[in-house]
Amino acid sequence: MSIDPTTLWKTLVAGGVMAGVLVLVQVVFYSRILLPAYVLLGGIRYLTILRLLKGLREHDIELIHKYLGTKLGFVSKLLGAILIAE
């Protein structure tokens, strides 16, 4: 098993941007009731940055598909359509 340094820095950047945005939003609009909105905003921000940095490849989506199985295969197809920038 090996770690791809390029993928590692892309995911770290995406995670850092997501965390920064969430901290900023929580400082301005803090409420326990907004927790689901914070999770949704963080997920969208993370996936957006991953797409911009081209952080996922076809192989990654295939791995997700194998992990999720046939019942949740539509999730990996949706992620592939959204995240694989060509």
pLDDT band at 85 (very low <50, low <70, confident <90, very high): low
Chain segment 1-44, per-residue pLDDT in tens = 788 888 889 999 999 999 999 999 999 988 889 899 999 999 99
- Listed residue (25, 19, 4, 18) closest to 51, CA to CA: 18
pLDDT band at 86 (very low <50, low <70, confident <90, very high): low
pTM (two decimals): 0.79
Chain segment 55-70, per-residue pLDDT in tens = 888 888 888 899 888 8
How confident is the model at residue 63, as a pLDDT? 87
Cβ distance 73 to 46 under 8 Å? no
- The enclosing H or E element of 83 equals helix 73-83
d(CA 33, CA 12): 28
